[in-house]
C-alpha cells in the first residue's frame, strides 16, 4: 500500500514538473496560480490530508508579508492549496530532488543562510517585491517544530514591511488526526529526519486535517522598530496556535529572535541600504 501511495505521489510530482516545463512559459501569473492551487490541493489529497481554512480577515492587496509557524516541508503546499504565494526558503531546498525544481518554478525566493553578505540582497529584494504588490510568505521561526510549540520569531526579514509600510498577516498551521481531531506528529519534519523518511511518515499516517488560521493584517507604525513589530505578529500566531492547542508552548513574553536564516541583527549596513 505504501508503495502504491509513493508511486501516485511520484506521478503527481512528475505531472507538476511537466506542466511547469511545458505550459508555464506561456501562461499569465493568474493562470499559473490556478494550476498551482489545484496541483497543491491534489498533493494534499494524495498525502491523506484535507485543508480546513479559518479566515478571519482577507489578504490585503498591494503587497503583504505572511508570517506562519513552520512544521514541515508540506507547509508550502498546504498554503499554496489555499492561495498560491511566494516563499522565502533556505537555499538548500533548491537542490532537493523534484521539490526544489518545483519551488523554483513557483518563484520561491532562496536565501543563502551561511552568507552574511546575502542580507543586503535579500532585504532589497523583499522590499521591492512588496512594493510590486507580491504576497510573500516567511517562516520567521527559522526552523521547523513538532507543531505543539512556537519558537521566537526572527526580526530581520521584517525590515522589508517596516521600511515599505506594507502589512504583515499572521497565519497558523496545525495538523490533526482527521478522526479524533487531536494533534498529529506525522508531518513534523524535525531533528535528523530525512525528506524520504518524512514522506513515509505522512503516507503511513491515518487521514489528517490541515487547519489553517488566517489572522488580521498588522501595519507598522511610524518609528516602530522591526523587533517590536515582529513581537506583535508572533503573539498573534501564538494566540492562534493556543486556539488549536491550549497547552501549546509559546515564547516568553517579549522574546524575539535576533537572527533569521543567517541574517544577524547587527547587519545595520544592509538594513540602512534597504531604508535608503
pLDDT at position 147 is: 96
**Residue 87 burial (CB < 10 Å; 0-12/13-18/19+)?**
buried
Q: What is the C-alpha separation between 64 and 133, in angstroms, rounded?
A: 7
Any alpha helices (H) in 62-191, and if so which ranges? 75-82, 99-105, 118-131, 159-164
Q: How many residues does the chain have?
A: 276
Q: Which residues of the chain have pLDDT under 70?
A: 113-117, 119, 258-276
Q: What is the C-alpha separation between 189 and 194, in angstroms, rounded?
A: 8
pLDDT at position 116 is: 65
Cell numbers of 136, please?
510573500
In DSSP terms, 137 is beta-bridged to: 66, 87
- Cα dist. 276→102, 123, 273 in Å? 34, 12, 5
CB 187 within 8 A of CB 175: yes
pLDDT at position 7 is: 95
Q: What is the C-alpha separation between 128 and 122, in angstroms, rounded?
A: 10
pLDDT digits (tens, 9 = 90+) for 56-70: 999 999 999 999 999
Instruction: Give, in words, the CATH class of 2-275.
Output: alpha beta
pLDDT at position 271 is: 37
Q: What is the C-alpha separation between 227 and 154, in angstroms, rounded?
A: 8
pLDDT at position 259 is: 47
pLDDT at position 114 is: 62
pLDDT at position 268 is: 37
**CA 96 to mean position of chain CA atoms:** 17
Cell numbers of 19, please?
506542466
**Residue 197 burial (CB < 10 Å; 0-12/13-18/19+)?**
exposed
Cell numbers of 63, please?
503587497
pLDDT digits (tens, 9 = 90+) for 151-201: 999 988 899 999 999 999 999 999 999 999 999 999 999 999 998 999 999
Residue extents of the structural domains in the chain: 2-275
Closest CA to 211 of 41, 40, 49, 51: 51
pLDDT at position 54 is: 96
pLDDT at position 31 is: 96
Amino acid at each position: 500500500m505504501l508503495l502504491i501511495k509513493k508511486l501516485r505521489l511520484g506521478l503527481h510530482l512528475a505531472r507538476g514538473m511537466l506542466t511547469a516545463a511545458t505550459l508555464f512559459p506561456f501562461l499569465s501569473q493568474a493562470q499559473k496560480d490556478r494550476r498551482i492551487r489545484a496541483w497543491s490541493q491534489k498533493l494534499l489529497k494524495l498525502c491523506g490530508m484535507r485543508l480546513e481554512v479559518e479566515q478571519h480577515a482577507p489578504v490585503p492587496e498591494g503587497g503583504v508579508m505572511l508570517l506562519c509557524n513552520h512544521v514541515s516541508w508540506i507547509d508550502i503546499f498546504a498554503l499554496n492549496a489555499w492561495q498560491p504565494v511566494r516563499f522565502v526558503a533556505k537555499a538548500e531546498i533548491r537542490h532537493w530532488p523534484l521539490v526544489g525544481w518545483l519551488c523554483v518554478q513557483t518563484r520561491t525566493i532562496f536565501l543563502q543562510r551561511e552568507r552574511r553578505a546575502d542580507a543586503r540582497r535579500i532585504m532589497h529584494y523583499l522590499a521591492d517585491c512588496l512594493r510590486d504588490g507580491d504576497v510573500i510568505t516567511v517562516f520567521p521561526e527559522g526552523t521547523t517544530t513538532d507543531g505543539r510549540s512556537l519558537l521566537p520569531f526572527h526580526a530581520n526579514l521584517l525590515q522589508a514591511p517596516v521600511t515599505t509600510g506594507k502589512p504583515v498577516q499572521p497565519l497558523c498551521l496545525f495538523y490533526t488526526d482527521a478522526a479524533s481531531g487531536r494533534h498529529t506528529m506525522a508531518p513534523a519534519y524535525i531533528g535528523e529526519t530525512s525528506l524520504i523518511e518524512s514522506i513515509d511518515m505522512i503516507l503511513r499516517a491515518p487521514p489528517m486535517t490541515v487547519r489553517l488560521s488566517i489572522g488580521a493584517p498588522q501595519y507598522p507604525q511610524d518609528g516602530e522598530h522591526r523587533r517590536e513589530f515582529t513581537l506583535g505578529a508572533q503573539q498573534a500566531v501564538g494566540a492562534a496556535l493556543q486556539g488549536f492547542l491550549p497547552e501549546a508552548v509559546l515564547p516568553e513574553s517579549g522574546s524575539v529572535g535576533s537572527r533569521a536564516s543567517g541574517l544577524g541583527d547587527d547587519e545595520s549596513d544592509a538594513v540602512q541600504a534597504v531604508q535608503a
